[in-house]
Structure 1
């Protein structure tokens, strides 16, 4: 007998799932079960089970096996969602929606051949450095389909994985020069609200990720010890919902020293923010108040800094880059000043020094050239 259970998704929606035994496939000699959710009512789940049972009775197991790649993916997705953070779930789902489902979604999964996936891998290689990850995600769906009895083998494991294109491996890092950074901060200081100036000053002087800065609360800043603690980040979940989550790695949870000038600017902004909150009747100023917030005390929208920076860039006469470029600017300036890569890696919260070396290989090459030139000058 089938079992019908109600469950709640992370967005609060109550749905129904049907699970049950359908019989043994005479061709594969394997037991076939049903496990499908997403029904708005128990009645709908029962109707689906009756239809599947009827199809098997009339046509055998073949009809039940004619599931599309997308149908199997959706079954897999329900379980995957329970194993990862919401932000990770959203990012992976976006990759499927953008590249994988348009290619394989409507195809019957049992009719997808090795040649189809080989063509997909070759095509993705031409336009995306992460093409191996996309192939791996396709493979995950086939592994799941095997466990569910829909297919007997995984064609994604039989392809010849292409090599990365050299021009795609060498990803260009966008950053501001020292002069451009000075222009940016000078314009923001003289023409923008103090909150915006403080945001970009802090971003440029800590090398933090945008989400880390927007997720800061005042108790993350120790004014006496002049230290900023990164212990959470503002990110986006399903339906573009913003929420706080812990850093992904231990290295991302870190302490960053602050200069006297940074401390002074933060103190000034805290005073201005407190006055603005009181004027609006929002008396919520405590350690949990967000450092950068809207008139309701909620975190700034993740999309706003890009708009701020584009406006500033236009008026300041500097390149139109993303806020993440300030993180790269911070790193390249430190490397240019001879700061060792281990220290830079720790400040950035990278998982390893090798990640820092790979990211800023071009800057490192310039440093090696400068070192050789210094040696040549010393010997001349």
Structure 2
């Protein structure tokens, strides 16, 4: 076995991992200053030896001290440009992803020191914690790609990891997190006793399939009680620094005109009559400005607190309740459901409501067995 170079030293880091390092004097640079190099973190002796020999052979010629940057600094550089290219709410969501997931692990670490092993462990852990773990991993990859362009790192360690195929965290149970028609009627009756504003809000969600923030953004100009239509033109969202902003809907398909049923028509007329002052927005604060993005949660919690026998569902599930009842109790076509829900493509509609298709298969099987011909 060849004798090892004594300049290559073995050591252990804080996690007990066996690594290699070296210290090398290259000579004097063009300004007469001594050039000393210390490199560490090599996973094997051979990698450390190869780098040591290359640096020693080149000497001070063309040598430049490598630039280093921490992940937090790189994120700030990248985000400054990114935030001007997307919706403010999207920029805020990206910041939340970074702050909550990447920053605690890698924020204070130099990017050129982050190894593939650490990134793989990070991806595996996020797959256990959150459903959209790939968004987090892709954001970290984007930062490494930006660092490569700016000359801070030579390679992106994300390219070398094995991305976990599926998250181990359970997805939302859409099939059971919706109301039956009877349960919806019981909830709306309880909401009506609690407060007419809250009742009107949940009636809108369950009668039109509006997203919760689309409903909060509605103005009276969006309601045409003559044509019985409702126009979706805006949505409330969290912008940078978590301030509430008004912006265009989620996607091109989200900007839509929805029909108003006779039942909802009556609800809106009664709600308008109940208002002492008719402000611009249907749902507003004391000064007439739009509600906060937490107001609907306060209404829902109060209704459930006053009516403990009601089965609890999430606010977003009133939108799913609308679509589920529409599909299960009518002959509506999936393409029409897509239009009403404002989904970008039909695949999204079908993916969300696959459980209805499964139930149809069961019903078909039972019917054929019963017919028995």
Map residues 117-132 of structure 1 onto 2, 5 A cutoff: 117-132=119-134
Q: Does 1:354 align with 2:347?
A: yes
Report if the CA contact (8 A) 1:310-1:321 is conserved: no
Give the one of 317, 325, 334 matched to 1:333. Answer: 325
TM (normalized to structure 2)?
Answer: 0.78
Cα deviation, 1:86-109, whole Å, max 9, x if unaligned, reads 100000110111111111111110
Within a 5 Å distance, the mapping from 1:30-49 to structure 2 comes to none
Which residue does 2:372 correspond to in 1?
379
1:178 to 178, 181, 185: 181
Aligned counterpart, 1:241: 243
CA distance 1:352–1:134, shift in 2 (3 Å): same
Give the distance between the partners of 2:295 and 2:132, measured in 1 at CA.
28
**Whole-Å Cα distance in 2 between the matches of residues 170 and 320 of structure 1?**
18
Higher helix share: 1
Give TM-score scaled by structure 1 length: 0.77
Partner of 1:205: 207
Deviation at 1:266, TM superposition (A): 0.7
The CA deviation at 1:168 is: 4.3
Equivalent residue, structure 2, for 1:343: 336
Residue 309 of structure 2 is aligned to residue 307 of structure 1: no
Deviation of 1:61 after TM superposition, in Å, equals: 5.5
Q: Which runs of 5+ in 1 are unaligned?
A: 1-25, 27-59, 278-283
Aligned residues between the structures: 308
Distance 1:151 1:356 in 2: 42
Of the three residues 78, 81, 84, the one matched with 1:82 is 84
1:300-347: per-residue Cα shift (whole Å, max 9, x none)? 111011121122123332133321110111111112114332222211
* Aligned equivalent of 1:292, options 283, 288, 299: 283
Check 1:69–1:240 CA distance in 2 against 1; reply closer, same or farther (3 A cut).
Answer: closer
Structure with greater Cα Rg:
2
Check conservation: 2:92, 2:242, Cα contact below 8 A: no
For residues 61 and 79 of structure 1, what CA distance do their matches in structure 2 show? Answer: 28
State whether residues 215 and 234 of structure 1, in contact with CA within 8 Å, keep that contact through their aligned partners in structure 2. yes
**How far apart are residue 367 of structure 1 and its match?**
2.2
Q: Distance in 2 between matches of 1:108 and 1:133?
A: 22
CA contact (8 A) 1:110 1:150 kept: yes
CA distance in 1, matches of 2:300, 2:194: 11
Paired with 1:314 and 1:367, the residues of 2 have a C-alpha distance of: 36
Pairing 1:219–2:210 present: no
Deviations 1:13-68 (A, max 9, x none): xxxxxxxxxxxxx9xxxxxxxxxxxxxxxxxxxxxxxxxxxxxxxxx9547x2211
